Structure 1
């Protein structure tokens, strides 16, 4: 049956909104990819140490990032409610400002404990049984990269504002510019200036702060955005609004911590198999993360589209927006699954210096892990888009429980079991990750079907 005009219109609107967000996400991922490639050419130990640092960095970024993501549904529903009353009055303008400002305050509070832990990266990793040399390299990266965490989270909050206003292209161009500048800066810091892994972390911090400063300048110079005065009286936190950010955002943060944490735990588990296994894991996880940025962007667009409809009390429109986004995400990830399975050796060697003595071993294992990653692409895409649609309805607690069950209750234990007892080694860990993602995707789809049928009442 051909799609109805409403469904076709929604698909076009979702694509128009999601494409700039997707390119923004890909640009963010390109920062990590380029630095991974540069560290790979520095040597296997540098790549492995950087991977351990990045794993811990993103796990500890999750609390702040989850609260930053909470701004998007709040901003979208405020704007949707403004549409419902024809945009009359300045109430919804104040609401957008308060949602943005409160999210920034909440992010700042959440990142302080993360900073304390990241400063002690070497001690944390050695306590977890990691190689002392790799742990020391990881600390050099983490201590330089941690200062960019507030900038990255602030950029996500401001990007949510632009998405709610249905004008996300500015954030895309800023992210692309950051990638273009980051590559030569990271190269200069790592190689000619001799900072090594610390140079990569410093380049990431500079890129994150550059993006948030550029976004603030964009908002300040735009005639429409300027009237929101997003940072007006920013020194005055609003406890009631911050509580709403925490209510919506803490389950998002917990779900992200569970998902990011399981991949971080997988990186640590790889450390038990040696530096080559960690380096191969770095190749596979960075590639899979790059493809993941597209459905993640579609999911962020779904948060805005569903939130706008929900704020306007349009239950049918909210359901339609969610299902369209899920279909788009699933289609893309099915294509990525084919690519990863058929091109895994080529992708693996792109990260490595052929002159390195361990490059052949890392490439072979990396190609194997990429094939495994190909088989869980579809589940990964479905779960992240569906989570985005649920966030548009401020439904965040149940998805958090699904993440706990799928990733930690089933996926990781199963992966460790088949890796060690089943004799699959590093590949077994990735098999467990795929199982966990498939379970979470199935549970998320069932939840969306139930919630979207229930309506907004």
Structure 2
């Protein structure tokens, strides 16, 4: 019996959306994973130096984490703006070029104050109640690592352009090269191989800075030389201001930056709360967080794909397409996170063993990291749901209210519950991680409720012209 034409066409539209989402998302996911693996390589190498060096590097990385995510979030606004322009097609080349250029302006403006803060990191870390020896080593690490942020942010602006063009393959290829380069260079600079000096913890940070500068340069060469990208002339007259577009980009991007910064900031705050317990808790937190962050790269990629696919449908005025784009990415990402949660429950010690060997000096850290992973397994689904939900809403250019959700969920519920359980109820590190789980669940629920009300709120039919 033949299916009615409308049912058949609907199923075909969903299949087409699934194929388009997977085609766009898988290189983004693999690129995200490669970027996470670059940092994971640094964490592994610091673990080889010892638990104290690992704890110090974790404090340094967590000081950069929230600031870097705020900057990344602001620049993320270039993706839906370029995608919507491409969906509308009229004046697409000009609009994409102007948005990209203002993304470069924002990068230059944000990086200088970040460098100033990180250059003076030791008194900041001491003011947060950390041990003096760990603060000194963390500051030394950051003197090498801080320069990586410039190349990393520049890379993200170009990455957003390639994603909006639905050509993310180059991002993946260059990111994979970055893993190999970072592993060899950081290993050599930390331990003194291939004729390079033994720089210890400083060498790990310096290696990351060199690698991200090289990756940004490589992606810029691709954009300049590729025939499809060259017609946009993205780097031509980059010094010319475009203040209306700059304000539009900042207006859209600042709430995204606050949303991402509030999420990253609560994990950074968790690391410093761990420091109030002991150095072993900081090291264990760094390991568990790195494992969770690596799996998080998959739903993050689906969230980025959702932003582009929803933005393209919004530009076309295609409401059914908006629905398909959002829910397809959501189902794929949350399904993956459910599987990773089961893996964390099944084999936590094997995962932790990638970072630290069993032995008298490490047994306590390993046991703590395993206990944190059990909690992380529980919040995997919520973490995937909230990041994809945020990506779906960004495709609709809806960023302000999600930022309020993030403030309430992460800092009121997440941090509040974590402090209560850790220091009042005596759960210590497990209490902090339980609070993080509660905050992620709250944000996920709020994001999905808003997505379900998108038509009644007028989000799905709203496109703000950029002049």
The normalised TM-score by structure 2 is 0.94
Q: Flag the 1:401–1:346 CA change in 2: closer, same or farther, 3 A.
A: same
Deviates more, 1:204-213 or 1:19-28: 204-213
Q: Structure 2 residue aligned with 1:456, among 432, 443, 461?
A: 461
Q: Shift in Å at residue 8 of structure 1? A: 1.4
Pair 1:155 & 2:155 matched: yes
Per-residue deviation, residues 187-242 of structure 1 (Å, max 9, x unmatched): 00111132111111111111211111111111111111111110110111211111
Residue of structure 2 equivalent to 1:215:
219
Partners of 2:358 and 2:199 in 1: CA distance: 23
Matches within 5 A, 1:4-153: 4-82=11-89, 91-153=91-153
CA-to-aligned-CA distance 1:250-287 (integer Å, 9 cap, x gap) = 00111111000000000000001111110000000000
Q: CA deviation at 1:92?
A: 1.3
Describe the superposition over 1:174-196 as per-residue Cα deviations: whole angstroms up to 9, x where unpaired.
00110011101010011113211
Determine the structure 2 residue equivalent to 1:427: 430
Q: Greater CA deviation, 108-117 or 364-373? A: 108-117
Equivalent residues of 2:358, 2:366 under 8 A apart: no
| 1:275 paired residue among 276, 279, 285 | 279
Equivalent position to 1:290, from 285, 294, 303: 294
**Cα distance in 1, alignment partners of residues 387 and 212 from structure 2:** 23
Structure 1, unmatched stretches of 5+, are 86-90
- Alignment pair present for 1:400 and 2:400: no
1:390 Cα deviation after fit: 0.8
* 1:120-146 deviation per Cα after TM superposition (whole angstroms, max 9, x unaligned): 111001011001111111111112111
- Give the aligned partner of residue 348 of structure 1: 352
The residue that corresponds to 1:367 in the other structure is 370
SS of residue paired to 1:394:
coil
Question: Matched residue pairs, number?
Answer: 449
Cα distance per residue 1:272-318 (max 9 Å; x no partner):
11111100000000000000000001100111101111111112211
Alpha carbons 1:63, 1:111 under 8 Å: kept: no
Q: Shift of residue 413 of structure 1? A: 1.1
In the other structure, the counterpart of 1:316 is 320
Q: Secondary structure at the match of 2:77?
A: helix
Report the Cα offset of residue 354 of structure 1.
3.6
User: Could you tell me whether the CA contact under 8 Å between 2:375 and 2:434 is conserved in 1?
Assistant: yes
Secondary structure of 2:345 counterpart: helix
Alignment of 1:222-241 (within 5 A): 222-241=226-245
Distance of 2:407 and 2:328 partners within structure 1: 27
Of 1-10 and 106-115, deviating more is 1-10
Paired residue secondary structure (1:424): coil
Aligned to 1:305: 309
Q: Compute the displacement of 1:110 (Å).
A: 2.0
Give distance in 2, aligned partners of 1:59 and 1:5. Answer: 42
Given that 1:319 and 1:452 are in contact with CA atoms closer than 8 Å, whether structure 2 keeps it comes out as: no
In 1, distance between residues paired with 2:377 and 2:174? 30
Structure 1 runs (4+) greater than 6 angstroms displaced: none
2:251 aligns to what? 247
User: Unaligned regions of 5+ residues in structure 2, if any?
Assistant: 1-6, 463-467
How far is 1:452 from its partner? 5.0
Aligned counterparts of 2:209 and 2:97: Cα–Cα separation in 1: 26
Please say if residues 107 and 153 of structure 1, whose CA atoms lie closer than 8 Å, have aligned partners that are also in contact: yes
State the distance in 1 between where 2:294 and 2:23 align. 20
Aligned-partner SS, 1:4: helix
**Range with bigger deviation, 279-288 or 308-317:** 308-317
In the alignment, the residues of structure 2 paired with residue 198 and residue 297 of structure 1 have an alpha-carbon distance, to the nearest angstrom, of 31
Residues of 1 paired with 2:442 and 2:244: CA distance? Answer: 36
Secondary structure in 2 aligned to 1:285?
A: helix
Aligned equivalents of 1:148, 1:74: Cα separation in 2: 26
Check whether the contact 1:189–1:200 (CA below 8 A) recurs between aligned residues. Answer: yes
The structural deviation recorded for 1:151 is 1.1
Contact 1:61–1:111 (Cα < 8 Å) also in 2: no
How far 1:358 sits from its partner (Å)? 2.4
Equivalent pair of 2:87/2:315 in contact (CA under 8 Å): yes
Question: Do the aligned partners of 1:418 and 1:429 also contact (CA within 8 Å) in 2?
Answer: yes
User: In the alignment, is the contact (CA less than 8 A) between 1:36 and 1:47 conserved in 2?
Assistant: yes
